[in-house]
Amino acid sequence: MSDLHTLSVAQLVDGLKNKKFSSAELTNHFLNRIEKLDSKVNSFITVDADNARAAAKAADQKRAASDNNTPPTLGIPMAHKDIFCTKGVLTTCGSKMLYNFVSPYDATIVNHIREAGFISLGKLNMDEFAMGSDNESSYYGAVHNPWDLDRVPGGSSGGSAAATAAGFIPVATGSDTGGSIRQPASFCGLTGIKPTYGRVSRFGMIAYASSLDQAGSFGRSAEDCAYLLQPMVGHDTRDATSIKHAVPDYVADMRQAVKDADSSKPFAGLKIGVAKEYFGKGLNSEVEAQVRAALKQYEALGATIVEVHITDPEITLATYYMLAPAEASSNLSRFDGVRFGYRCDDPKNLEDLYTRSRSEGFGPEVQRRILMGTYALSAGYFDAYYTKAQRVRRVILEDFEKAFQECDLIASPTAPTAAYKLGETLDPVSMYLGDVYTIAVNLAGLPAISMPAGFTQNGLPVGLQLIGNHWDDGKLLTTAHLYQQHTNHHTQLSDVAKMGV
């Protein structure tokens, strides 16, 4: 079968169960596509073909031996953002600093995803240390958007989004500190979920800004995302910020919701908040038109739209770009050229070793953030910048709390534009402005999902973001799933996904 890469995860589960194809065939199909087509996209940093083929063979044997009494996702390929530590396989975080780093352990989610039977095909390209919105800061080269190879896929999980949209893998992991799952999902015509802070373990996920970082999943549909998210969620004693909270069965709940819903008005009773702050200046008119049209579809399907107020995104942006670099400057101090990763040649003394290893190992965007963050944390500036930003962070959360008294979910564009041309935002501030609609969610620890909502006139995907209250991850998946039962934006294929091999 040459179209295996266009099947949904549910179809893959069914096909494996009913022996329409084996995991070995499936894995070979995807590896073949990566081998033939990824030179155009550059989505993988490491392809782990031998281990993947061995795991696929083992999965087929296990399925045959236990007569399908195995996890339903046994033998389904996926890949990890290169921010997750993988034992025995290179983990670079998109940086020269970790060009030779092989982790001695697996991230908790890597283990759990493997236990659910998924097979990792390798590690995906990303902005260096997850800092960026265009995947152009990777030491391993920029990633190209499979819908238009002259454009960026978004970032920082650009490789995860591009590989999924190109049909190199059905689903991928990502991380989201300020939008790094949702914005690339929007640029690449995918669904991507950033769960509630504390929902997914961060153990073994290289830290950028620890109070904001959260792992999540990418897929072509909400249901595909749910299949991969399921093994990721849950409490982990090795991550002090992971929270004990009941774990729902996302896919089962989504299917039940379809059965329970009035088929013509599935959103009857659902109140969606719309804030004019999220439709302000800087929003591209074609993106706005598609998002407003999607909201009309939600209304036609029974939802009520209510106006809510959230914090001015310009204030949120300033708060985020104070706090995230501050945390990053502290987290990245561990990369000193001594313990692991890149070390400069012939250091003259310890000071020279630190200075040159860090200046040569980190790219310009990472250095800029370390400088900004160190400045904000330095004596004399700490109160004026860091403490003040922390206070504003509290206000942002309170504004959301008030908004959620008026509505169940909040809708907005995921990003102010569709995917831009490679090289178009080399000026950092214009890149930061692209994060206006995604970062408040991280500052407030809320869950949010981006789903395909339509296309611009030149065929670029546009994303709609839905923000939920804490622990409403399942509600977001179910809402997106119901929407996807009635629309077909998410079933469109990118140019690269349409290419055969």
- Residues with active-site annotation: 81, 156, 180
- For residues 211 and 227, give the distance between their C-alpha atoms in angstroms, rounded to a whole number: 26
Of 204, 215, 222, the C-alpha closest to 9 is 222
At its nearest, how many Å lie between ligand GLN and the CB of residue 284?
18
Q: Which of residues 2-61 bind ligand GLN (CB under 6 A)?
A: none
Site string for ligand GLN, 428-447 (x = CB under 6 A): -------x------------
- Residues paired with 451 in a beta bridge: 464
Query: Residue 32 has which token pair?
Result: 């073949």
* Binding pattern for the stretch 68-97 against ligand GLN, x by CB under 6 A and - elsewhere: ------------------------------
At residue 146, the 3 state secondary structure works out as: coil
Among the residue ranges 130-138, 159-167, 195-203, 237-245, the one whose residues contact ligand GLN (CB under 6 A): 130-138
In the complex, the smallest distance separating the C-beta of residue 176 from ligand GLN, rounded to whole angstroms, is 5
Cα separation, 9 vs 349, in Å, equals 54
**Least distance CB 212 / ligand GLN (angstroms):** 8
Binding to ligand GLN (CB under 6 A) within 287-316 occurs at none
Stretch that binds ligand GLN, among 47-55, 100-108, 129-137, 307-315 (CB under 6 A): 129-137
Minimum Å distance from CB 321 to ligand GLN? 8
- For the bound state, the minimum distance from the C-beta of residue 194 to ligand GLN, rounded and expressed in Å, comes to 8
* 130 forms part of the interface with ligand GLN (CB under 6 A): yes
Q: Which is nearer to ligand GLN, 133 or 290 (CB)?
A: 133
Q: Given the complex with ligand GLN, which of 130 and 326 has the nearer CB atom? A: 130
Nearer to ligand GLN, 324 or 451 (CB): 324
Q: Which long-range contacts (CB under 8 A, 24 or more apart) does 365-371 make?
A: 365/127, 365/128, 365/131, 365/132, 365/137, 365/428, 366/95, 366/128, 366/129, 366/131, 366/137, 366/328, 366/332, 368/428, 369/131, 369/324, 369/325, 369/328, 369/329, 370/325, 370/328, 370/329, 370/332, 371/329
192 versus 248: smaller Cβ distance to ligand GLN: 192
What is the footprint of ligand GLN within residues 220-249 (CB under 6 A)?
A: none
Q: Does 200 bind ligand GLN (CB under 6 A)?
A: no
Residue closest to 119 by CA, chosen among 23, 18, 33: 23
Rounded Cα distance, 66 and 165, in Å: 33
Interface residue with ligand GLN, options 131, 215, 294, 303 (CB under 6 A): 131
Instruction: For the CB of residue 96, give the shortest distance to ligand GLN in the complex, in Å.
Output: 18
Q: Judged by CB, which is closer to ligand GLN: 8, or 137? A: 137
Q: Is residue 329 a contact residue for ligand GLN (CB under 6 A)?
A: no
From the list 26, 40, 173, the residue with the least C-alpha distance to 109 is 173
Are 360 and 342 spatial neighbours (Cβ–Cβ below 8 Å)? yes
Can you tell me which of 15, 72, 94, 132 binds ligand GLN, judged by CB under 6 A? 132
Q: Which is nearer to ligand GLN, 244 or 421 (CB)?
A: 421
The yes or no reply on residue 472 touching ligand GLN (CB under 6 A) is no
Q: Of the two residues 111 and 156, which places its CB atom closer to ligand GLN in the complex? A: 156
Give the CA dihedral 202, 412, 226, 452, nearest 10 degrees.
-120
The interface with ligand GLN within residues 379-438 (CB under 6 A) comprises: 435
Parallel, antiparallel or unpaired: strands 461-468 and 409-413 = antiparallel
Instruction: Please identify which residue in the block is written with the tokens 């706090």.
Output: 323
Among 421, 406, 422, 412, smallest CA distance to 451 is for 412
C-alpha dist (Å) from residue 202 to 50, 53, 84, 128, 184: 27, 28, 9, 18, 20
Distance (Å, rounded) from C-alpha 318 to C-alpha 311? Answer: 12
Helices (runs of H) and strands (runs of E) counted in the chain:
18, 11
Q: Which of residues 155-184 bind ligand GLN (CB under 6 A)?
A: 156, 176-180
Contact region for ligand GLN (CB under 6 A) — 15-23, 125-133, 334-342, 473-481?
A: 125-133
Where are any strands of DSSP class E within 259-342? 271-275, 304-308
Nearest one of 48, 47, 3 to 25, comparing CA atoms: 3
d(C-alpha 134, C-alpha 167), whole Å:
20
Q: Is 208 in the site for ligand GLN (CB under 6 A)?
A: yes
Q: Which is nearer to ligand GLN, 73 or 156 (CB)?
A: 156
Query: Residue 372 or residue 482: which is nearer to ligand GLN going by CB?
Result: 372
Applying CB under 6 A, among 324, 326, 376, 422 the residue interacting with ligand GLN is: 324
Residues 304 and 270 sit within 8 Å (Cβ to Cβ): yes
Binding site for ligand GLN (CB under 6 A): 130-133, 156, 176-180, 208, 324, 435
